[in-house]
Structure 1
């Protein structure tokens, strides 16, 4: 399409606008044919040129606009402006990125370019989007919930990153870069804030030199607010109606007992509360220009509460943000992490790095799974009581990576690496399910005890770029990964309806493994071994049209290991092949940047995980390999400066096709018909359904203007708006309850800064829009978890 033709085209919809952005970017790139014949661009307005952004997406420091990878880089200022605390706050800033807070574990699961797994929240399942801190993999999803504090940047890489970043980066990777100590500098920041829902927060960091060759940095953060969910009082039926309901269900008059209202929670900590703290001690030792060692210890503690399943259609007379709760929320998590990076410059042409990490996690929680959707008619009728309790969860993991790479500008840029990682996990997870109330009769209950699960992964990789000329660059790479998983001594223990044992909910005081407790082990046990290996690769051709415009095309593959499930059964690996064409352009003298990516994904052997009921009445978490999916779409990022005081950023994603291949899916979280497939009680054929958490179009727009006041003070208002079309919340596509309708959600802020101190006020979700992140109807009525309601706050800080 010629430029003259583009002038006559108008975008009548957001989708057409996104397509025109890509065509415009490519047209701008091709307007000048070679670097040698390019005419000089008009200079940007005074102060409008944007600073160069350096990223590590290719595991070497490169300019964002010179790196042929679809990557979003968020620096410390952008993270602060958007009040980023967890990955849930990052997703709106990245095209094609979605994240949800998931129920009974309260972890964050991520979807990118239509690919994700809502069940990647326990030791049984891995995510498709890998998370890293300073290049070190964080294997369990709890790591993604940690407070994001004292960061230099977050880089979100879109598309398979299997060559350089390894397994479980099937569709992308997120790398968080912590702020590092600086030699010879004494400096620091401190900030405190308050807001509604009892919000209190504080954070800070200080850099201290330790002689000429060493430095230390100490950073801390604490954030807390009350829960958003109010408690409903139980509308207790009369004893006459209770007795009648009990007798009508077939119960005997002698066994009747009135409902105990004290079993319903009316006070104490509420669901959706935050109480998180973290501290990080970082050390730098640089004895010479050739040697550098960064090492950091971090402690994270979470004493908040989990999100809550809320009725999508509130009970008459009740607010949406309230629930009839029979399980008090609790959460107790500690994470200790140690990260180390040693860099050695071998000579002018080569550098060696050794990256090592260790982390240990301990946690427990209680969660009201039934959501109080029904009011009991007697102590054992009219409702279902179900609590999902993580009695204990422990994991340790460590990793080692050795990288050797070329340095400087050469005809052939190369890097080689060896990687090894290991995990050891254990968990006890209890699910008591009772008729009516927890004083009622057992509907089903069980305890899943996995005392030892191990994961070992080793890999060798290499990647090289042949700089054929000043403008043409050919890149190829491959990675071989070998995985081994074991389950040792694990089993599910199910209530065996022994009339001689009191019917009480399973709890930590009960050891279901002991005889006489009323539980029987599953047959077979969970013991098993899985081994597998995979080669992933990358081929990419990039062409610098001139110093401000480039175009690239690539084929890349990603891989997620197979594993073990209940009963010791194995499931296979999943793979993704991504075909991509992208452009990166800096226009108007550097005042305008447009980056585009057009992609097509072939997703194979999708690991679909869900809690299921087996035909024999036992329950468990089942994982099956579905056929996969085919997805294609367009992403665009636009950044513009108007003079030195105005900044506009846009992130656009258009995904017109995200369809599942063949899959017969079952899940206890949804009311599904009886299944004709052997081994599954209820199921639904979801072949051809749309992938969840994949809106057809989404857009994020941010604008800020700086007013320059007297004495060097500044006042900066900012507006951020996110819009997306409707999207499904599960693979079942079950109607409006299973769908988030199209919505617009906006934040506003105002920052006053003078010299080295500032005050920042903000309102998040100005319109108080209810946005569902997950949904289910396994208990009858549709429930959902939501993004937070409108919140207001203020922060004040000082640099020194």
Structure 2
């Protein structure tokens, strides 16, 4: 049974993606908030309107969004198109409490929901918002950057989902459901989009029922555009950063040889050949960066996904959900910011493999006691060869014969294995009250075998270094280092050395749970109260150094590995898991004869063992700045989503989010300004460590206090029977902080640097988008013109790198973009 359907009360359920004759009337887009569509009711007169209900699988059972006791926003492909959603980034501003930043080196979205997220996009950690495509978990958030095309639906669940979705869902879950092959009809569609910045995009799909029991579906998408980051004078020639070059192809098959068995299988290939993003030193139409190495990205993902369902006569369903992902990346990313600072880096060879197996058993949805149990297995293997070249920099100030001019990070075997079992049940106490409880037990294992961070005084030695941990060489009687020095103090002229030894093998286990009470206050209004806990797996960080004087033996390596796994001493090369608990009160209601829909969620979330970069005082007395679990935070919030059918032809929708998200406990050193950071964050510090700054009370990153989205669309029927639909959207956000330090303005003359405003901050802003769509009275096509960010607002999405430099650097949301889109369908 497909994950998403549309349904009008009293009518037969139909697939969410299936067009009818006039899809502007019968498939009006799900606008930003509320995740619902509207159309003229077929059951009554032409003047009768009602909000159409969308169904979701947020509880791993098919339920209407109004009857789903979770904070969830959902879209179908029409709604995604209507809101010009190509990638996950484009959902920002139309989903409550969702904020997205960009990571330049990984060309990856960093997703924050209700102030919960992660800036670690490497193989050493995990995002705090879980991504699932057709039920398959994606551990690498790069997978979220894939084109969102030919979907049955997209769901964004907010708040910890520690039972049904488990791994790293402390902030929430993004569920993407690809469109499944259909057995009962042929259909096809195609579209082309052109726009400024030389935007060219195409999409196409064909559904082929080959027999009464077997069908295939083929879909493809391509999107290209020029970059919008200007090159400052003196830059090297090449494509501008911010250029897009994405393509994807998906082929899927569906087989249903009997009423009680079906099998879905798909293969998808995704390619990203864009330049990646880069911080710039100015904003608006003059955004620019000094570029010495133009961006290069060759990122390929191959994904296989499958699901089998068997329905027993007793009403029990057994499902298997399996997936395999293989990806590889080569990239170049400029790290210089001025003509006298030349540095670049990127993936020489970065690969990722992941396998998932899940078994799920549940009884029928109509049972008074609904239950579901499952087993989840996930494993990933990563091999990383990442280089940074800085040929004109001596980090030792000329005081060493071995300046670090080239760094290479070799993690040949870094991986994760996760096993979990889960169970959830809902009991209908009465016709109006339901009680749900759920538990999940998880065991996670991480490892780094043979990982080394290597430094060199000569950039020409790259091709001579090993790709694995079988090192032999000088001062190395056991053959462990392969010609490398064991540390920077034992090098020969021109020799490279091992800076850190990263071998570690931590493991964790955790039980998370959920309890929820639902009350049908009236047939059209549901209230719910829930308590849920979340668990985000621990992460790996750089290990310890060799401090001996040689020779380097197996015993020395064993001692370093032991220190890397010694959490008691504070020398561990990993960070323990994060945990959170959330209490939520919700309302979901339909009013005014189903022409007004209102959803509300009031919540409080307590975050403990927050993974932060902070100071650690080890048992040896050393004061180290490293990733640790030193932080606590509390997030209180209110979210509203509404949809109102105005008159006979208008649609008004919107969402609002209020967040009070602050650190409760966070002592650290300013990572950019050191002891001078007190100029931005006056603090009494910690008596035990007087040099520390107290970030307690600071705002969490990517968590504006107030955000708002309003959308209005109106339908005009022309004299020739054609339909014209103008639409306008306004998105507002209060100020956003990009760093826990919450730095504001840099004082004039501070450390000899010029004045700079909003070092870590995007001030409050409003962004306007508009579109106009035409559909003829007869025909199978539509034409749309659109403008996004009409006033060309200068909106930062994240702080850039090296914010202690004279000119701060920032990532930016897109400037004003405009274009036209032609859509054609065949059925």
Instruction: Tell me the TM-score normalized by structure 2.
Output: 0.81
Please tell me whether residue 419 in structure 1 is matched to residue 392 in structure 2: no
* Structure 1 residues 309-331: Cα deviation after superposition (integer angstroms, max 9, x where no partner): 101479xxxx6322221122111
Return the match for 1:658 from 641, 657, 661.
Answer: 661
* Structure 1 residues 420-459: Cα deviation after superposition (integer angstroms, max 9, x where no partner): 0100001112222344799x99565421110011210000
Q: Which has the higher contact order (CA 8 A, sep 6+)?
A: 1
Please tell me whether residue 58 in structure 1 is matched to residue 66 in structure 2: no
Please state whether the residue corresponding to 2:53 is helix, strand or coil: coil
CA distance in structure 2 between the partners assigned to 1:368 and 1:329 by the alignment: 7
Is residue 406–residue 459 contact of structure 2 (8 Å, CA) maintained in 1? no
Out of 576-585 and 728-737, give the one that drifted further: 728-737
1:103 maps to 104
Return the match for 1:455 from 410, 413, 416.
Answer: 416
* Structure 1 residues 600-629: Cα deviation after superposition (integer angstroms, max 9, x where no partner): 0000111125999x9xxxxx9942112220
Is residue 59–residue 164 contact of structure 1 (8 Å, CA) maintained in 2? yes
Please state whether the residue corresponding to 1:123 is helix, strand or coil: coil
Is residue 740–residue 772 contact of structure 1 (8 Å, CA) maintained in 2? yes
Please tell me whether residue 767 in structure 1 is matched to residue 791 in structure 2: yes
2:347 maps to 390
Please state whether the residue corresponding to 1:388 is helix, strand or coil: strand
Structure 1 residue runs without a partner (length 5+): 1-24, 26-42, 235-263, 377-383, 498-502, 615-619
CA deviation after TM superposition for structure 1 residue 399, in Å: 0.4
1:258 maps to none
Please state whether the residue corresponding to 1:65 is helix, strand or coil: helix
Where in structure 2 are the equivalents of 1:148-163 lying within 5 Å? 148-163=148-163
Return the match for 1:744 from 766, 771, 791.
Answer: 766
CA distance in structure 1 between the partners assigned to 2:66 and 2:735 by the alignment: 32
Is residue 667–residue 682 contact of structure 1 (8 Å, CA) maintained in 2? no
CA distance in structure 2 between the partners assigned to 1:778 and 1:484 by the alignment: 37
Please state whether the residue corresponding to 1:60 is helix, strand or coil: coil
After superposition, the Cα gap between the structure-2 partners of 1:298 and 1:621, relative to the gap in structure 1 and judged at 3 Å, is: farther
Is residue 392–residue 428 contact of structure 1 (8 Å, CA) maintained in 2? yes
Please tell me whether residue 757 in structure 1 is matched to residue 758 in structure 2: no
1:361 maps to 327
CA distance in structure 1 between the partners assigned to 2:150 and 2:629 by the alignment: 40
Is residue 391–residue 508 contact of structure 1 (8 Å, CA) maintained in 2? no
CA distance in structure 2 between the partners assigned to 1:214 and 1:576 by the alignment: 45
* Structure 1 residues 582-608: Cα deviation after superposition (integer angstroms, max 9, x where no partner): 001100111100000000000011112
CA distance in structure 2 between the partners assigned to 1:396 and 1:683 by the alignment: 41
* Structure 1 residues 547-590: Cα deviation after superposition (integer angstroms, max 9, x where no partner): 10011100001101113211141211111100010001100111
Please state whether the residue corresponding to 1:306 is helix, strand or coil: coil
RMSD: 2.7
Is residue 117–residue 608 contact of structure 1 (8 Å, CA) maintained in 2? no
2:220 maps to 220
Return the match for 1:403 from 360, 365, 369.
Answer: 360
CA distance in structure 2 between the partners assigned to 1:484 and 1:323 by the alignment: 41
After superposition, the Cα gap between the structure-2 partners of 1:781 and 1:483, relative to the gap in structure 1 and judged at 3 Å, is: same
* Structure 1 residues 98-131: Cα deviation after superposition (integer angstroms, max 9, x where no partner): 111112111001111111122x210011111111
CA distance in structure 2 between the partners assigned to 1:687 and 1:124 by the alignment: 27
CA distance in structure 2 between the partners assigned to 1:645 and 1:488 by the alignment: 63
CA distance in structure 1 between the partners assigned to 2:459 and 2:718 by the alignment: 68
CA deviation after TM superposition for structure 1 residue 150, in Å: 0.7
Return the match for 2:483 from 515, 526, 529.
Answer: 515
After superposition, the Cα gap between the structure-2 partners of 1:737 and 1:509, relative to the gap in structure 1 and judged at 3 Å, is: farther
CA distance in structure 2 between the partners assigned to 1:684 and 1:391 by the alignment: 38
CA distance in structure 1 between the partners assigned to 2:716 and 2:394 by the alignment: 60
CA distance in structure 2 between the partners assigned to 1:424 and 1:494 by the alignment: 25
CA deviation after TM superposition for structure 1 residue 514, in Å: 5.3
CA deviation after TM superposition for structure 1 residue 661, in Å: 2.6
After superposition, the Cα gap between the structure-2 partners of 1:45 and 1:481, relative to the gap in structure 1 and judged at 3 Å, is: farther
CA distance in structure 2 between the partners assigned to 1:681 and 1:283 by the alignment: 64
Please state whether the residue corresponding to 2:794 is helix, strand or coil: coil
CA deviation after TM superposition for structure 1 residue 526, in Å: 0.7
Out of 401-410 and 575-584, give the one that drifted further: 401-410
CA deviation after TM superposition for structure 1 residue 746, in Å: 1.2
CA deviation after TM superposition for structure 1 residue 662, in Å: 2.2
Return the match for 1:323 from 267, 270, 289.
Answer: 289
CA distance in structure 2 between the partners assigned to 1:611 and 1:52 by the alignment: 51
Return the match for 2:715 from 695, 706, 709.
Answer: 706
2:673 maps to 671
CA distance in structure 1 between the partners assigned to 2:739 and 2:45 by the alignment: 47
CA distance in structure 2 between the partners assigned to 1:198 and 1:505 by the alignment: 39
CA deviation after TM superposition for structure 1 residue 375, in Å: 4.1
Please state whether the residue corresponding to 2:105 is helix, strand or coil: helix
2:567 maps to none
CA distance in structure 1 between the partners assigned to 2:454 and 2:443 by the alignment: 32
2:250 maps to 280
Structure 2 residue runs without a partner (length 5+): 1-33, 35-43, 468-480, 485-493, 544-563, 565-572, 619-623, 678-684, 745-757
After superposition, the Cα gap between the structure-2 partners of 1:206 and 1:710, relative to the gap in structure 1 and judged at 3 Å, is: farther
After superposition, the Cα gap between the structure-2 partners of 1:115 and 1:740, relative to the gap in structure 1 and judged at 3 Å, is: same
Is residue 643–residue 651 contact of structure 2 (8 Å, CA) maintained in 1? yes
1:726 maps to 735
Where in structure 2 are the equivalents of 1:240-259 lying within 5 Å? none
Please state whether the residue corresponding to 1:459 is helix, strand or coil: strand
1:551 maps to 527
CA deviation after TM superposition for structure 1 residue 66, in Å: 0.8
Is residue 686–residue 693 contact of structure 2 (8 Å, CA) maintained in 1? no
CA distance in structure 2 between the partners assigned to 1:761 and 1:564 by the alignment: 47
Please state whether the residue corresponding to 2:698 is helix, strand or coil: coil
Is residue 611–residue 631 contact of structure 2 (8 Å, CA) maintained in 1? no
CA distance in structure 2 between the partners assigned to 1:275 and 1:509 by the alignment: 33
1:29 maps to none
Please tell me whether residue 787 in structure 1 is matched to residue 813 in structure 2: yes
Is residue 614–residue 628 contact of structure 2 (8 Å, CA) maintained in 1? no
Is residue 662–residue 686 contact of structure 1 (8 Å, CA) maintained in 2? yes
Out of 92-101 and 595-604, give the one that drifted further: 92-101
* Structure 1 residues 628-674: Cα deviation after superposition (integer angstroms, max 9, x where no partner): 2001010000011124522111011011x211132234576x33337
Is residue 204–residue 220 contact of structure 1 (8 Å, CA) maintained in 2? yes
1:34 maps to none
CA deviation after TM superposition for structure 1 residue 230, in Å: 2.1
* Structure 1 residues 122-174: Cα deviation after superposition (integer angstroms, max 9, x where no partner): 00111111111111111101101111111111101011001000110012000
1:81 maps to 82
Return the match for 1:465 from 402, 426, 430.
Answer: 426
CA deviation after TM superposition for structure 1 residue 727, in Å: 1.3
Is residue 695–residue 741 contact of structure 2 (8 Å, CA) maintained in 1? yes
* Structure 1 residues 373-418: Cα deviation after superposition (integer angstroms, max 9, x where no partner): x343xxxxxxx22223222210000101111111131220111111
After superposition, the Cα gap between the structure-2 partners of 1:401 and 1:674, relative to the gap in structure 1 and judged at 3 Å, is: same
CA deviation after TM superposition for structure 1 residue 46, in Å: 3.0
* Structure 1 residues 531-558: Cα deviation after superposition (integer angstroms, max 9, x where no partner): 1000000000010011100111000011
CA distance in structure 1 between the partners assigned to 2:607 and 2:390 by the alignment: 37
* Structure 1 residues 291-310: Cα deviation after superposition (integer angstroms, max 9, x where no partner): 11111100000101111110
CA distance in structure 1 between the partners assigned to 2:65 and 2:661 by the alignment: 28
After superposition, the Cα gap between the structure-2 partners of 1:182 and 1:643, relative to the gap in structure 1 and judged at 3 Å, is: farther
Please state whether the residue corresponding to 1:286 is helix, strand or coil: strand
Where in structure 2 are the equivalents of 1:298-377 lying within 5 Å? 298-312=268-282, 320-370=286-336, 372=337, 374-376=338-340
Is residue 44–residue 590 contact of structure 1 (8 Å, CA) maintained in 2? no
After superposition, the Cα gap between the structure-2 partners of 1:683 and 1:116, relative to the gap in structure 1 and judged at 3 Å, is: farther
